[in-house]
Chain A
């Protein structure tokens, strides 16, 4: 008898394993079929459409910007539903008073819980990936440059996984009718609190707020001129993954303890770790808890070392300096008949026509005059939201107007929104961005040039208004220039602008050529303008 058993053992083991796998597969199929998540998917889809999809649709078709909604909006919705639904699934055995019933089945507690968790997580991840596809497919059709960033997807998926496992663990440990809504609400509060911290994160100590998957909206050209460093998403994935792994271990340990509980009176606790049954499960559970805690602690420590650079947040231990090189590109340019050239980054080529239509008329008015820009070129925006971005400026010889996708003149959020939405104010903002540095005193240093032109005087304002009126634009909105104390009133400036605008273009050009230096120096008054 014994030799037979011994001889048959090795042959039967693979078959037993196959049968066990097949049974697990059947169980998982049943779980996927019976799981409650699909019933909530229509509601989740509706919320996703109104919040995430519409928000992404309002952003310019730049990959990094569109992908930012995954952490900022999509994860919020998944926090609510994934956490609550997972808690609901985790408390199922208790809720249906089936604990005694399932305890008599050959499946271990851990195996049963794993299948329930896998089914819930499977549905939620499927919904998450479908949501990502709903964002990325239209972006792929609209974007003119770049490719889909994957790290926001990984961080988002890690967020969904950790939220699901937290909810599931709460459902297992605290089964009750209030668990699911309270878990959902708790996770939402946690998410929002993390978001608040992430918005206010600075380079000073306290950069651990970078672990929050929700953060400030990136600059419109993020990831366009320089690669977005994956340092922060890596720490986020490590942190959330660590929590998820540790909770899995806790669930496995709890399952092992629950299985062991009836035998508490017969076996001493001292011998528990060495006990034959389920020793592998217990060992794996302890390893999971230790690995998860280690990963999360490491990620927390790494986030504390983050530094803010021109290209974004960097974590020295993870940073790859080779990725700091600018991304090569060939700008999209268009030349006007007068020779003025407008260039945009190919990621924003949809805006080229609007920018050229805005700048060409005023560029023609000042063409050939000293200090007049011969080209307008988009450059990388410098700065962060909400602290502000660097202003546009004219630099070089021949002069070139350098503007960013975030700011030109007094116009902010230049390339936010869909092309062809350019209104009169938008055009006026670009024209002001070109004329302000032309009409003001040239900066005396490169550093001064990058701070933008000085505020215009009354005569300079009148000339600017006239040139813009000649180009068919309204007078620009002047931030911080609401009249001149002791100088001419706004009515006098408007009258001077009207006079100058009514002159023929050649007369305006000739007057400017003759009086430009005095105008820039501020020695000409509004009354002296013809």
Chain B
């Protein structure tokens, strides 16, 4: 009887404690990935986009008009992918079953935040091709970066997005229409959306399940 009562009564307290622990776990996860600094870097990208649009660093029309916004969007995506790096390496994987979920929500949340901050930066300015292309670029290139992190680790995951960006600069000037060159396609291009979302989904899923490659030498 005493044992039953003891077992029943503390239940609400345990739920509250578990909730606090979950929040703390999530906070520790994002801190270990330098997410707060990443948000600052994303804000920097948003500021750079605003400055570029406001002071007309970019062309106002034609194929060149998309270049600087695309570079900054790729930069925001690179920042998101770099936050995937864990300083704990292999040992972190043995700590519990929540790690994949934390990775999933951190990466998806950072991607959404990147789009929001870039949109905030472009608010009130004339952004070539608009918010839809911005969101598609950030999403797709983040997917490329997350896929890259499986091979290179999180800290060097920015290399493939930059390579893709450099290639897209060429595709932009050459007027390529292939859907996998989604940054150069118009906002309503269905194939481009499918490709960008497919790459992001694949990257996010694999990143969630496997996590980035970890090497002790890359500890930060």
Residues of A bordering B, CB below 8 Å: 36, 40, 43-44, 46-47, 50-51, 54-55, 73, 76-77, 80-81, 84, 88, 95-97, 176-178, 180-182, 184-186, 188-189, 192-193, 196
Contacts and interface: CB of A to CB of B under 8 A. Distances in A.
Contacts of A177: 34, 37, 82-83, 85, 154-155, 220
B90 interface: no
B187 to A, nearest CB: 22
A192 B67 contact: yes
A196 B64 contact: yes
A185 B75 contact: yes
B167 A192 contact: no
A226 B85 CA distance: 55
Nearest to B145: A181
A181 B64 contact: no
Contacts of B170: 50-51, 54-55, 73
A200 to B, nearest CB: 9
The range of chain B's interface size is 35 or more
Contacts of A181: 75, 78-79, 82, 158, 162
B74 interface: yes
A184 B218 contact: no
A192 B57 contact: yes
Contacts of A189: 48, 52, 57, 68, 71-72
Given A46-B163, A185-B75, A178 B59 contact: no
Given A51-B167, A80-B165, A188-B71, A176 B37 contact: yes
Contact of A97 (B37, B41, B79, B219): B219
A201 to B, nearest CB: 14
B150 to A, nearest CB: 15
B194 interface: no
A462 B162 CA distance: 56
A44 B58 CA distance: 25
B166 A77 contact: yes
Contact of A184 (B58, B162, B169, B219): B162
B38 interface: yes
Interface in B57-88: 57-59, 64, 67-68, 71-72, 74-75, 78-79, 82-83, 85
Nearest to B218: A95
A334 to B, nearest CB: 34
A97 B155 CA distance: 15
Contacts of B45: 185
B57 A81 contact: no
Contact of A43 (B44, B67, B155, B160): B160
A97 B218 CA distance: 10
Contact of B162 (A50, A84, A88): A84
Given A178-B34, A192-B71, A51 B166 contact: yes
18 contacts: A40-B159, A46-B163, A51-B167, A51-B170, A76-B166, A76-B169, A80-B165, A96-B219, A178-B37, A178-B41, A181-B82, A182-B79, A185-B48, A185-B75, A186-B48, A188-B165, A189-B72, A192-B71
Contacts of B38: 178
Contacts of A97: 219
Interface string B26-68: 0000000010011001001100100010000111000010011
A92 B23 CA distance: 33
Given A182-B44, A192-B68, 15 more contacts: A36-B156, A51-B167, A80-B163, A84-B162, A95-B219, A178-B37, A178-B82, A181-B82, A181-B162, A184-B78, A185-B45, A189-B72, A192-B58, A196-B57, A196-B59
Contacts of A44: 163
B217 interface: yes
Nearest to B68: A192
A453 to B, nearest CB: 31
A309 to B, nearest CB: 27
Contacts of B68: 189, 192-193
B41 A84 contact: no
A185 B74 contact: yes
B60 to A, nearest CB: 10
Sort A-B residue pairs by CB-CB distance and give the 6 closest, nearest first: A185-B75, A181-B158, A181-B78, A51-B170, A193-B57, A47-B166
Contacts of B154: 177
Nearest to B170: A51
Contacts of A186: 48
Contacts of B37: 176-178
Contacts of A36: 156
A47 B166 CA distance: 7
B42 to A, nearest CB: 10
B163 A182 contact: no
Given A96-B217, A178-B37, A184 B67 contact: no
Contacts of B67: 192
Contacts of B159: 40, 43, 81, 84
Max chain A C-beta neighbours (<10 A), residue from B34, B155, B162: B162
